[in-house]
C-alpha cells in the first residue's frame, strides 16, 4: 500500500463530485418475469428478420465473418455511413444531398455527446446550454469534462417548446461563454417535437459563435420526414444526432450517428478511438438500415404506434391517472399521477412507481423531479400483452395507494 496515495487529492475534483447516470434498472433488475417499460426500448425487438434470428438458417441476414474477428474493423465505416445518408436524404428540407463526409458514427449517441464537448469546450472555462426537462447525459458528460451548464427551461407543458427569446438572450451574453446548445427533439422525457422554426432562430443568432446539437433519438416515431438531418448541408454549425437503439430496436449494439458539416465531422473522427465500431456492430447496423431491415423496423414501428394510440385512449380511463403532459412523437408517454385530492403529486407517483416494480413486476420511470414534470411517470409503449398487464396493474396500484 502506497503511504502517499490519496484518492481525494489525486483524482480530478469534478470527477469525485460526479453522480453517475441512473436508470430504473439500478433499482429493479430484470428477473425474467418483469415487463420493462422504463428505458424507451423497442418492445418488438431488433430490426432483423425472423430468418436472421433463426439458428436454423445461419446464412440469412447480416454477413458476419467470425473468422475475421482477429482483424481490426474498418475505422471509417463508409458503407454504413452511405446507408445512413441514403436513409436521411429526403429533400424535405433542402435540395442538397448528405454524404459520408457529413457523418460521425460512435458508440451510441453518448460518444457523440462527449466528443462534441471535448472538441469545442475548454474545461473550466466554457459552458453548454440545455433546456430541461431533457436527457440526463448532457449534464453528466459536461461534468466529466469539467464544463458548466446554463439551463433555459422549456416552455410549460403540454407544449414543452423552446423558449427562443430566453435562449437567444443567454447566447447573447458573452459572460456565459456558451459553446454548445443541446436540444432534444422529440424530447426525453417530453415526447414533443421541437418546431423547426425555433431551431432555425437559434442557428441564425447574429453574434453567437457556437454549435447547435439536435438529438433525434426518437425521430422515427415522429411523422415521416420530420428529421432535420439533411439540414446539416445548409448549416455549418448544426449537429443532428440519431441512434439505432430506439425505432430500430438495437440498443444492445450501441450504434449512434452524428450528421454534421464535413468540417465538424472531420474533428469528431480525428479525436475518436481508431476502431470504435466493432465488426459485429457494423454488420448488424448495415443490415438494419438496408431494405430488408428497414421493412422490419417499419412493421415494428407501426405496431408500437398502434399501441401508443391505445394507451392514449386507455390510460385516462384509469382512476388516478391525470393529464398527458408531453407530446406523442416518441415510443413513450408522460402522464401525471394524481393523489386522492385529484392533484398531481410526487409522493403518490413515487409510491405507484415503486409498487408497480416491486409487487407487479412492471417497471416504468418516475420523472417527477424533472422540471415541469411534477407527479409524472414516463411509460414506454410495450407490446399488446405488456400494455394490457400495465393497465391492469396500474389501476390496482393506484387504487391501493390512493386509498391508503
The arithmetic mean of pLDDT across residues 179-188, rounded, is 97
For the cut 80, the answer to whether the pLDDT of residue 53 exceeds it is no
* 70-289 placed in CATH 3.30.830.10: no
Q: Nearest 5°: phi and psi at 241?
A: -95, 140
For the cut 60, the answer to whether the pLDDT of residue 1 exceeds it is no
- What span, in angstroms and rounded, lies between the C-alpha atoms of 196 and 201? 9
Instruction: Return the pLDDT at 31.
Output: 60
Kindly indicate the confidence band of residue 51, based on its pLDDT and cuts at 50, 70 and 90. low
Q: Where are the domains of the chain?
A: 20-40+294-403, 70-289
For the cut 80, the answer to whether the pLDDT of residue 32 exceeds it is no
Is 142 in contact with 125 (CB distance < 8 Å)?
A: no
Decide which of 20 and 8 is more confident.
Answer: 8
- What span, in angstroms and rounded, lies between the C-alpha atoms of 263 and 68? 33
Comparing 268-272, 318-322, 400-404, which segment has the lowest mean pLDDT?
400-404
What is the largest distance, in Å, between two alpha-carbon atoms of the chain?
66
Q: Which residue in 379, 378, 380, 375 sits closest to 401, CA to CA? A: 375
Instruction: Return the pLDDT at 38.
Output: 79
The arithmetic mean of pLDDT across residues 219-233, rounded, is 96
For the cut 60, the answer to whether the pLDDT of residue 20 exceeds it is no
Q: Which residue in 179, 170, 182 sits closest to 137, CA to CA? A: 182
Q: Which residues of 315-375 form beta strands (DSSP E)?
A: 321-324, 332-337, 362-363, 365-366
For the cut 70, the answer to whether the pLDDT of residue 217 exceeds it is yes
The arithmetic mean of pLDDT across residues 87-92, rounded, is 96
Query: What nine digits make up the cell of 5?
Result: 496515495
Instruction: Return the pLDDT at 386.
Output: 96
Instruction: Report the share of the chain in percent with pLDDT over 90.
Output: 77
- What span, in angstroms and rounded, lies between the C-alpha atoms of 186 and 22? 21
| Residues contacting 293, CB < 8 A, separation 6+ | 47, 48, 49, 248, 287
For residue range 126-150, what is the model confidence (pLDDT) as tens digits? Answer: 999 999 999 999 999 999 999 999 9
Query: What nine digits make up the cell of 117?
Result: 464537448
- What span, in angstroms and rounded, lies between the C-alpha atoms of 103 and 259? 5
Q: Please provide the distance, in angstroms rounded to a whole number, between the alpha carbons at the two ends of the chain.
A: 54
For residue 227, cis peptide bond before it (omega within 30 degrees of 0): no
- What span, in angstroms and rounded, lies between the C-alpha atoms of 332 and 273? 33
For residue range 245-257, what is the model confidence (pLDDT) as tens digits? Answer: 999 999 999 999 9
Q: For residue 366, what are the CA distances in angstroms to 80, 352, 388?
A: 36, 9, 20
Instruction: Give the residue ranges of DSSP H helices in 145-229.
Output: 164-172, 196-203
User: Residue 54: helix, strand or coil by DSSP?
Assistant: coil
Counting DSSP H helices and E strands in the chain, the numbers are 13, 13
Is 147 in contact with 127 (CB distance < 8 Å)?
A: yes
Q: Which residue in 178, 225, 218 sits closest to 202, CA to CA? A: 178
For residue range 63-82, what is the model confidence (pLDDT) as tens digits? Answer: 555 667 788 888 899 999 99
Instruction: Return the pLDDT at 41.
Output: 76
Q: For residue 183, what are the CA distances in angstroms to 59, 214, 351?
A: 42, 5, 31
- Name the CATH topology of 20-40+294-403: 3.90.1150
What number of CA atoms fall less than 13 Å from residue 283's CA on the CB side? 14
Torsion from C-alpha of 276, 279, 284, 287, nearest 10 degrees: 110
User: Residue 112: helix, strand or coil by DSSP?
Assistant: helix
Decide which of 49 and 373 is more confident.
Answer: 373
For the cut 80, the answer to whether the pLDDT of residue 293 exceeds it is yes
Question: Do 20-40+294-403 and 70-289 have matching folds?
Answer: no
Q: Which residue in 155, 217, 215, 154 sits closest to 180, CA to CA? A: 215
For residue range 39-49, what is the model confidence (pLDDT) as tens digits? Answer: 777 887 787 76
Pick left, alpha or beta for residue 375 (phi over 0 → left; psi -120 to 50 → alpha; otherwise beta).
left
The arithmetic mean of pLDDT across residues 296-300, rounded, is 95
Is 64 in contact with 283 (CB distance < 8 Å)?
A: yes
For the cut 90, the answer to whether the pLDDT of residue 385 exceeds it is yes
Instruction: Return the pLDDT at 116.
Output: 93
Kindly indicate the confidence band of residue 2, based on its pLDDT and cuts at 50, 70 and 90. low
Amino acid at each position: 500500500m502506497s503511504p502517499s496515495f490519496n484518492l481525494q487529492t489525486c483524482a480530478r475534483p469534478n470527477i469525485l463530485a460526479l453522480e453517475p447516470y441512473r436508470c430504473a434498472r439500478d433499482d429493479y433488475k430484470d428477473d425474467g418475469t418483469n415487463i420493462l417499460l422504463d428505458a424507451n426500448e423497442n418492445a418488438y425487438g431488433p430490426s432483423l428478420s425472423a430468418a436472421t434470428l433463426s439458428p436454423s438458417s445461419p446464412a440469412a441476414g447480416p454477413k458476419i465473418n467470425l473468422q475475421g474477428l482477429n482483424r481490426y474493423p474498418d475505422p471509417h465505416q463508409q458503407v454504413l455511413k452511405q446507408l445512413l445518408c441514403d436513409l436521411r436524404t429526403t429533400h424535405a428540407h433542402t435540395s442538397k444531398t448528405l454524404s459520408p463526409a457529413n457523418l460521425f458514427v460512435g458508440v451510441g449517441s453518448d460518444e457523440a455527446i462527449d466528443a462534441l464537448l471535448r472538441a469545442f469546450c475548454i474545461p473550466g472555462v466554457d459552458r453548454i446550454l440545455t433546456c430541461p426537462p431533457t436527457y440526463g447525459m448532457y449534464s453528466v458528460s459536461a461534468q466529466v469534462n469539467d464544463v458548466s451548464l446554463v439551463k433555459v427551461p422549456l416552455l410549460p407543458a403540454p407544449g414543452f417548446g423552446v423558449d427562443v427569446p430566453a435562449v437567444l438572450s443567454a447566447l447573447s451574453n458573452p459572460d456565459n461563454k456558451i459553446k454548445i446548445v443541446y436540444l432534444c427533439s422529440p424530447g426525453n422525457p417530453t415526447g414533443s417535437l421541437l418546431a423547426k422554426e425555433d431551431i432555425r432562430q437559434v442557428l441564425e443568432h447574429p453574434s453567437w459563435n457556437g454549435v447547435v446539437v439536435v438529438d433525434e433519438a426518437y425521430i422515427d416515431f415522429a411523422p415521416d420526414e420530420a428529421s432535420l438531418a439533411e439540414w446539416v448541408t445548409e448549416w455549418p454549425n448544426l449537429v443532428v444526432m440519431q441512434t439505432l437503439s430506439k425505432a430500430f430496436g438495437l440498443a444492445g449494439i450501441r450504434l449512434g450517428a452524428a450528421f454534421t458539416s464535413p468540417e465538424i465531422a472531420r474533428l469528431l473522427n480525428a479525436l475518436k478511438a481508431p476502431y470504435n465500431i466493432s465488426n459485429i456492430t457494423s454488420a448488424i447496423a448495415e443490415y438494419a438500415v438496408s431494405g430488408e431491415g428497414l421493412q422490419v423496423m417499419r412493421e415494428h414501428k407501426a405496431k408500437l404506434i398502434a399501441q401508443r394510440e391505445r394507451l392514449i385512449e386507455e390510460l385516462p380511463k384509469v382512476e388516478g391517472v391525470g393529464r398527458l403532459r408531453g407530446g406523442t412523437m416518441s415510443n413513450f408517454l408522460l402522464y401525471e399521477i394524481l393523489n386522492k385530492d385529484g392533484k398531481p403529486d410526487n409522493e403518490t407517483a413515487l409510491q405507484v412507481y415503486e409498487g408497480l416494480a416491486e409487487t407487479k413486476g412492471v417497471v416504468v420511470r418516475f420523472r417527477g423531479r424533472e422540471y415541469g414534470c411534477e407527479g409524472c411517470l414516463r411509460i414506454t409503449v410495450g407490446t399488446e400483452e405488456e400494455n394490457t398487464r400495465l393497465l391492469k396493474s396500474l389501476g390496482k396500484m393506484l387504487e391501493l395507494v390512493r386509498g391508503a
